[in-house]
Amino acid sequence: MSARLTARGWGALAVVIASAALGLALGYPEGLGLAVGGALLLAVSYFLVAGGGPAFALAVAPPRVERLSDTIVRVDVEATRAHRRGLRLRGADATSFPVVWDATGVHADISVPTHRRGPVSLGPWVLERVDPWGLMRRRVGEVEGVALLVVPRVRPVSLAALPSALTDFGGSAEMGTTTFATLREYVIGDELRHVHWRSSAKTGKLMMRQYVDITRPRITLVLVAEERAYTSAEEFEEAVDFLASLAAVATSSGLDVEVVTTSGERAAHGGGRSTAVLDLLALVERGASGVDTRLLRANRATTIVVRGQGVLGWWDRIPALSVLRP
């Protein structure tokens, strides 16, 4: 695409025309000199942005980032040395980001707004060249936008500060109840006490009993999403972060975790950090809802409720081992 005048460039062109007109009409050589200087500047600006062919760029973003984290989306650019000066990304809102040439390559870094949870869309952008005075610009490429999800901030939580429901099972190698499921061939590392000798004699291969855990311990974390249960929006954000941290500690301790909100959302996970739980908590909002009778029948021994310092309500009748506040 050919070079075009920017808003500043149109202003400079207007000054050139006006100076030339006044210089000719009134016989002022100063006006003619100003017009010639301005025209030369516009010509140099055009020359600086006109060279080089198209450039290509690709934005790379993680699918999820934590709230209040310093996250940068890197846009890798493939360009020739003709584009070394004046290359930038420009968004639809007129914000611009310079393209940097360094030892790691040609790229532009864009900060992700992580002060709020939820989906975030960045871009698309226009890759363009501009002169040092901002008089001319030329589009040399386009960059597709990216979408990511800002999830709650998972913080370190001391096990000593948690209810015994989370610590009694932590680190235990004998959790739940196992039962026989099927037979399979021996693999290196299997315990010989699980060999099924009768089947092994029939097949001529070592056959092992396969067991599954049918009563794996489960903890239910209930997030009170009622607006009245919190004194401020920031307190609610802290409660969401706190519950996400509890879920991370519980799953790392070997527990299956089910996260429930008083507005009806549910997500369950077992083993490692759950993306389903984080995705649910990334989208939950404060609001008013009716009484959830299912929560009023919860198992007190394995239920933990997280709420704020606001007023009391039906959610305080949820049977729970503990009620925690961030």
The beta-carbon contacts of 93-98 under 8 Å, at least 24 apart in sequence, are 97/125
pTM, two decimal places: 0.71
Q: What is the pLDDT of residue 178?
A: 59
pLDDT surpassing 90 at residue 102:
no
More confident residue, 218 or 1: 218
Strand, helix or coil for residue 98: strand
**Taking a C-beta distance cutoff of 8 angstroms, is the pair 290, 311 a contact?**
no
Complete edge-to-edge strand list for the sheet that includes strand 100-102: 56-60, 72-78, 105-111, 100-102
Query: d(Cα 197, Cα 186) in Å, to the nearest integer?
Result: 12
Query: d(Cα 106, Cα 224) in Å, to the nearest integer?
Result: 47
Q: What is the pLDDT of residue 170?
A: 46
pLDDT (mean) for 255-279: 79
Give me the percent of the chain exceeding a pLDDT of 70. 88
Q: What is the pLDDT of residue 188?
A: 75
Bridge partners, residue 120, by sequence: 148
**Taking a C-beta distance cutoff of 8 angstroms, is the pair 79, 106 a contact?**
yes
Q: What is the pLDDT of residue 177?
A: 55
Each residue of 150-182: pLDDT tens digit?
999 988 876 555 665 455 544 444 444 556 667
Among 57-61, 116-120, 155-159, 224-228, the minimum mean pLDDT is found in 155-159
Cα→Cα distances 308→36, 242, 252, 287, Å: 70, 11, 25, 14
Strand, helix or coil for residue 101: strand
More confident residue, 1 or 240: 240
Give me the percent of the chain exceeding a pLDDT of 90. 27
Averaged pLDDT score across all residues of the chain: 84
Q: What is the pLDDT of residue 324?
A: 86
Q: What is the pLDDT of residue 173?
A: 42
More confident residue, 303 or 187: 303
Query: d(Cα 136, Cα 232) in Å, to the nearest integer?
Result: 49
pLDDT (mean) for 62-88: 87
pLDDT (mean) for 38-62: 87
Measured in residues, the chain has a length of 326
Question: What angle in degrees, to the nearest 10, is found between the helix axes of 233-252 and 275-283?
Answer: 170
pLDDT (mean) for 309-317: 91
**Taking a C-beta distance cutoff of 8 angstroms, is the pair 241, 154 a contact?**
yes
CA 27 to the chain's CA centroid = 64
Which of 1-5, 136-140, 186-190, 207-211 is modeled with the greatest confidence? 136-140
Query: d(Cα 74, Cα 100) in Å, to the nearest integer?
Result: 11
Q: Determine if the peptide bond prior to 29 is cis (ω within 30°).
A: no
Q: What is the pLDDT of residue 250?
A: 80
Q: What is the pLDDT of residue 215?
A: 54
Each residue of 206-257: pLDDT tens digit?
898 876 555 556 788 999 999 999 999 999 999 999 999 888 888 877 778 8
